[in-house]
């Protein structure tokens, strides 16, 4: 954990001890804004040699930037805010990190100890406020506690199931002196996450896999958190079991791979949804049976037994009854699965050629695609598909929340982990721009694209200025449909086209003018309205590396995200397009064998 093992003490202030501890813990970048309750800490930062501070324009931006840094680097992201409103502005980012298991340490200033509980100026009980949305939080009451508190915060944030930890520092503790020594003792007797799976559970699960006729690997974001993408691929190729990856796990398994069925869920691919819904065994690793994946949980994968492996025991059995529960780190679980199939004389890979044939036919029959806009306007899917082809899978893509997020998940080819960043659990509009800033800070040599909607962009676009001033030249592909697009889609489908307060500007006027706004914020601004302008604009943006770039892609307002499963419906009711009936109806019923289904699909293909 520590960069240095020296125990020699040195006299310094609490604020200086915070900075030194962060440096010893390997922190390179911290995102924050100064204020009265953290002025001692900023005085210490003034002389810091190893720690870069990035001055963001809003504390929520600091939190999301720290998330983006953590996502892209695999390290702990760090953000800093003053007391009261500074600290409360971090709440959304902390909740986002909590639901998406992002390793984050938030440092907040607090009023002096003698003022606690007096409703002093800019006093807020940030510990009480954030208790439900942090993995742990603590107020440091004595300067001697500083090294140990921060060492424990980093350990808690980055081990087991990762998550955010908040450390609150009263101003007088920052000013007081201590004899600083490193490393401190980290003693957390009540915190011992299980990482090594039980061998008996591994064997039991392996037997189920070997006997399965229609198994599928249901891989979640825990694969990426554990760095288990290589182990996932080795296990899948060894057994031949098809793979689906959730929204949070895109990139954990190569999208070009023949065993990859895509992303399941509300806007997942038909093959991925079919794989889960028709399976007789779910091999669930690092996923939590989220409602956006399962739809109606009582009708989700109705004929499947379930193996569920997760480092967080609270997730196992929370939504779905589990046949073989496995508590452990995803990387170790997959490694032990692989060892069993390589070494055991009694357990061999399942015989599932018919099952793979059925899913292969589903991939051919229901490829990703979209219809051009009926009014001739630019299709957002075309924009994102072109971006993926031109930029390629080595870049980092960061999405906001809404239609553009789903189109990015569908039309970008992800080949590597930590190249897809988005807000999955909380669904935070405004995530993309500051998270892209953090990703660029973490990976300055990588190309970073924020794919954002015009609604999301207007929430946190001030961090474009941060990027311009601090030298983080990421690109923004702004999908501008003039509406809160996903809400409009639901209003179209479920509220009789009553577009209640979802239109963002007048029909004939750009308000705001994103070209003028982006330019004022310090970015190069480009506007695109036709297909033939898309590729040249992307190419031009890629040539500009001395400042951020915002491309305003003006797209049609009626484009919708398909496939789609209505909230609360069965996955069997997935629709490929608005005018199609549910796919899993009498034509392909759950009672048919894989061979029957394979033959039916062939007949349908011949008819078409």
Tell me the CB-side half-sphere exposure of residue 266, using CA atoms within 13 A.
Answer: 20
Beta carbons within 10 angstroms of residue 5's beta carbon: 8
Helices 330-343, 199-211: axis angle to 10 degrees equals: 60
Helices 353-365, 270-278: axis angle to 10 degrees equals: 150
d(CA 255, CA 189): 42
Active site residue 1: no
Active site residue 211: no
Q: Where are the alpha helices (DSSP H) in 91-228?
A: 91-99, 126-130, 146-158, 171-175, 199-211, 222-225
Q: Which two tokens stand for residue 398?
A: 């960061």
Catalytic residue among 24, 59, 336, 573: 59
Tell me the CB-side half-sphere exposure of residue 197, using CA atoms within 13 A.
Answer: 28
Active site residue 131: no
| Partners of residue 475 on adjacent β-strands | 449, 549
260-262 vs 396-399, strand pairing mode:
unpaired
d(CA 450, CA 437): 9
Q: What angle is formed at CA 558 by the lines to CA 556 and CA 564, rounded to 5 degrees?
A: 125
Q: Phi/psi of residue 558, each to 5°?
A: -100, 5
Query: Which strand (E) or helix (H) includes residue 409?
Result: helix 403-411
Catalytic residue among 362, 406, 486, 564: 486
Catalytic residue among 135, 171, 278, 363: 171
Instruction: With beta carbons less than 8 A apart as the criterion, state whether 297 and 233 touch.
Output: no
Catalytic residue among 1, 10, 121, 603: 121
Cβ contacts of 394 within 8 Å, gap of 6 or more: 416, 419, 446, 447
Q: Which two tokens stand for residue 323?
A: 């046949």
Active site residue 121: yes
Q: Which two tokens stand for residue 89?
A: 């502005």
d(CA 321, CA 316): 8
Q: What is the DSSP letter of 495?
A: S
Q: Which two tokens stand for residue 110?
A: 């607090």
- Of the candidates 213, 235, 240, which has an alpha carbon nearest to the alpha carbon of residue 305? 213
Q: What is the DSSP letter of 215?
A: E
Q: Which two tokens stand for residue 113?
A: 């100890």
Check whether the bond before 183 is cis (ω within 30° of 0): yes
| Partners of residue 28 on adjacent β-strands | none
Cβ contacts of 192 within 8 Å, gap of 6 or more: none
- Could you please report the per-residue DSSP string of 50-112? S-EEEE-SSHHHHHHHHHHHHHHHSS-EEEEE-STHHHHTTHHHHHHHHHTT--EEEEEEE--
Q: Which two tokens stand for residue 570?
A: 């069965």
Q: What is the DSSP letter of 503?
A: B
* Residue bearing tokens 């990035």: 54
Active site residue 363: no
Q: Strand locations in 481-602, DSSP E?
A: 524-528, 549-554
End-to-end CA distance of the chain: 60
Torsion of CA 553, 554, 556, 562, to 10 degrees: 20
Catalytic residue among 122, 458, 462, 602: 122
| Partners of residue 552 on adjacent β-strands | 478, 527
- Residues involved in catalysis: 59, 121-122, 171, 486
């Amino acid at each position: 954990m520590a960069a240095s093992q020296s125990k020699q003490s040195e006299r310094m202030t609490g604020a200086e001890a915070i900075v030194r501890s962060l440096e010893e813990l390997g922190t390179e970048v911290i995102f924050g804004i100064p204020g009265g309750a953290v002025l001692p800490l900023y005085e210490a930062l003034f002389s810091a040699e190893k720690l870069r501070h990035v001055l963001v324009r809003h504390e929520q931006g600091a939190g999301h930037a720290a998330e983006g840094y953590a996502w892209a680097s695999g390290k702990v992201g760090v953000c800093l805010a003053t007391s009261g409103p500074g600290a409360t502005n971090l709440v959304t980012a902390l909740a986002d990190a909590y639901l998406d298991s992002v390793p984050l340490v938030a440092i907040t200033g607090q009023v002096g100890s003698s003022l606690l509980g007096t409703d002093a100026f800019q006093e807020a009980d940030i510990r009480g406020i954030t208790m439900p949305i942090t993995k742990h939080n603590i107020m440091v009451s004595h300067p001697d506690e500083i090294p140990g508190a921060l060492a424990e915060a980093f350990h808690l944030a980055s081990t087991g199931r990762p998550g955010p930890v908040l450390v609150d520092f009263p101003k007088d503790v920052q000013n007081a002196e201590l004899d600083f020594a490193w490393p401190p003792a980290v003693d957390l007797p009540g915190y011992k996450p299980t990482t090594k799976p039980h061998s008996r559970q591994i064997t039991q699960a392996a037997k189920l896999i070997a006997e399965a006729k229609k198994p599928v690997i249901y891989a979640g974001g825990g694969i990426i958190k554990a760095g288990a993408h290589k182990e996932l691929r080795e296990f899948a190729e060894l057994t031949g079991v098809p793979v689906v990856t959730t929204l949070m796990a895109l990139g954990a398994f190569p999208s070009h791979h023949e065993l990859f069925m895509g992303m399941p869920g509300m806007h997942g691919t038909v093959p991925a949804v079919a794989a889960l819904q028709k399976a007789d065994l779910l091999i669930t690793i690092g996923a939590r049976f989220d409602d956006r994946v399962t739809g109606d949980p009582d009708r989700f994968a109705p004929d499947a037994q379930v193996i569920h492996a997760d480092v967080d025991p609270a997730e196992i059995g929370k939504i779905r009854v589990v046949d073989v529960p496995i508590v452990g780190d995803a990387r170790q679980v997959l490694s032990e699965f692989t060892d069993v199939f390589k070494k055991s004389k009694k357990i061999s890979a399942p015989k599932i050629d018919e099952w793979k044939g059925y899913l292969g036919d589903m991939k051919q029959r229901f490829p990703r695609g979209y219809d051009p806009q009926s009014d001739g306007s630019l299709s957002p899917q075309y924009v994102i598909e072109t971006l993926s082809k031109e930029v390629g899978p080595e870049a980092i893509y960061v999405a906001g929340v809404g239609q553009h997020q789903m189109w990015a998940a569908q039309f970008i080819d992800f080949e590597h982990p930590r190249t897809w960043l988005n807000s999955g659990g909380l669904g935070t509009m405004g995530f993309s721009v500051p998270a892209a800033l953090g990703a660029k800070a973490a990976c300055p040599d990588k190309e970073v694209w924020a794919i954002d909607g015009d609604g999301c962009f207007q929430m946190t676009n001030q961090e474009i200025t941060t990027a311009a001033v601090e030298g983080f030249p990421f690109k923004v592909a702004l999908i501008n449909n003039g509406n809160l697009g996903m809400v409009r889609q639901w209003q179209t489908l479920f509220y009789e086209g009553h577009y209640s307060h979802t239109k963002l500007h007048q029909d004939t006027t750009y308000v705001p003018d994103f070209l003028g706004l982006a330019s004022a914020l310090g970015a190069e601004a480009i506007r695109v309205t036709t297909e033939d302008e898309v590729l040249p604009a992307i190419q031009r943006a890629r040539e500009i590396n001395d400042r951020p770039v915002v491309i305003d892609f003006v797209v049609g307002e009626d484009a919708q995200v398909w496939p789609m499963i209505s909230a609360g419906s069965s996955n069997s009711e997935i629709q490929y397009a608005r005018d199609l009936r549910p796919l899993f109806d009498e034509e392909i019923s759950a009672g048919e064998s894989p061979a029957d289904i394979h033959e039916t699909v062939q007949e349908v293909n011949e008819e078409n």
